[in-house]
Structure 1
């Protein structure tokens, strides 16, 4: 059976979860772990092992920073979905981490799955029917990404995680991954667990030569992660008195390095744009 890599767009892609029997996959979805704007996360058992299963809501291409470009016909709905749909964002981000051997820069990913209509109906019977499904999504399955299962009761991070977390931000940016959602809630034990907003080169918002996105916007996207990381640490310290052992009193603001960018027409991956 052919193993489709997703998304079907230039750049990195993610393989499906390697079920022992892809025709009759052994999948049991159990406890609800949490949810948000883009997804619901469950504990699940696949081929006898426990994982976190992130199931994604359906995507509206018009609810993106590319609304004006869509109206002007500068980019298609399919192109926006390929690089901005939260499911595709995670596929591309994890695909990049896997292709360069840097899966340590986020929680471990084991591939994607698509639910059968019966599995979707079973979730609806349990009350999980908020998938933002529209008429154009009627025939489309709910898509999910299989991740390492961590204890959500663990802290977001502690002072001992700071140096590695800060380096992880610059390392991801150097690989052409801009997370765009750096905040404490997206970490467990100092490890990034959410890449659903990530822009991954090649991407029109990370293209210095883009005719679609102005350069000031490209620059803003490429520096946002490090700015948000510094703001996250500032908020963390302000919420804790200096007498608290959990405060990062000695942290230093990170350098505002830009992420690696793609060039229009380049088939060799991201390049580094130096200021």
Structure 2
């Protein structure tokens, strides 16, 4: 057993993750209870290679949940937004804890929990999250039998050779039925909630229709929650452009539904500036 596998096993014994400064998510209280897999919830039009994990409709102790099972993440991928010169400013460990989609969700939901306790979040903004858990070996086999692969890396990749056999991570969320109504009133509420998250350091970085369910956010796998190592390692103006990306993407989504003439997240001039900036900074 490699050191990487041992370290990953140890991490999933913690009561809260990730083990670094900043917000954390608690372990799911019924993590030892049997999981009944009802169905794999696939998003139409999304390529398998581009997803960060797979969401299942499950039952645990007779209650239905959405269980997001995460793919394995290569530590060096966390630094893809940095120049070679700036990469050394961020350790691989911190890059993982801040950028791995599993830990990204843990940090975002940890901050949301903080905001709820302080009374800052007063209405439903995101699907409720009930904690993280480790998938046991029997359930790993069930997932594999459903045709799900949790590795995007080739088998000969050095990191995969050292890390394969690590425990599978998952987050338990509220299961939400229904679609989002893109009417003016609902979109105003969605925009208000998104601005609130941004104001408190949660940058979604992936605002699109698929990441909403019944008007609330369901996916934080791309989120950067401040303080964030990558944002701290770049010039201030670059970080500021990144902070505005959610509003630009929300405007794109409004445009897709013909609402631009009635509602905007950004003033028109600011939107055009953000659109050019975001396209330049977005990895190819």
Q: TM-score, normalised by structure 2?
A: 0.76
Q: Post-superposition shift, 1:215?
A: 1.8
Report 1:6-45 matches (<5 A): 6-19=17-30, 22=31, 24-34=32-42, 37-45=51-59
- Count of residue correspondences: 239
The structure with the greater share of residues assigned to helix is 2
Determine which of 40, 47, 61 is the counterpart of 2:61.
47
Give the corresponding residue for 1:106: 126
Q: Post-superposition shift, 1:228?
A: 1.1
Find the aligned partners of 1:72 and 1:183 in 2 and give their Cα distance.
29
Q: Which moved more, 1:106-115 or 1:120-129?
A: 120-129
Instruction: Provide structure 2 residue ranges, at least 5 long, that are not aligned to the other structure.
Output: 1-12, 154-159, 272-284
| CA 116–236 in structure 1, closer or farther in 2 if over 3 Å, else same | same
Determine which of 205, 215, 233 is the counterpart of 2:236.
215
| Larger RCO, structure (CA 8 Å, separation 6 or more) | 2
Give the corresponding residue for 1:79: 94
Instruction: Provide structure 1 residue ranges, at least 5 long, that are not aligned to the other structure.
Output: 238-246, 258-275
Determine which of 78, 83, 86 is the counterpart of 1:68.
83
Give the corresponding residue for 1:144: 170
Find the aligned partners of 2:199 and 2:90 in 1 and give their Cα distance.
26
Q: Which moved more, 1:130-139 or 1:219-228?
A: 130-139
| CA 72–50 in structure 1, closer or farther in 2 if over 3 Å, else same | closer
Q: Post-superposition shift, 1:125?
A: 2.3
| CA 248–159 in structure 1, closer or farther in 2 if over 3 Å, else same | farther
Q: Is the 8 A contact 2:98 2:224 kept in 1?
A: yes
Q: Which moved more, 1:221-230 or 1:70-79?
A: 70-79
Q: Post-superposition shift, 1:217?
A: 1.7
Q: Post-superposition shift, 1:71?
A: 7.8
Give the corresponding residue for 1:92: 107
Determine which of 4, 12, 15 is the counterpart of 1:4.
15
Find the aligned partners of 2:234 and 2:261 in 1 and give their Cα distance.
38
Report 1:146-185 matches (<5 A): 146-151=172-177, 153-155=178-180, 157-185=182-210
Give the corresponding residue for 2:250: 229
Q: TM-score, normalised by structure 1?
A: 0.79
User: Any idea what SS the aligned residue of 2:140 has?
Assistant: helix
| CA 156–109 in structure 1, closer or farther in 2 if over 3 Å, else same | farther
Q: Post-superposition shift, 1:231?
A: 1.6
Give the corresponding residue for 1:240: none
Give the corresponding residue for 2:281: none
Find the aligned partners of 1:138 and 1:253 in 2 and give their Cα distance.
43
Q: Is the 8 A contact 2:90 2:229 kept in 1?
A: no
Q: Post-superposition shift, 1:163?
A: 1.2
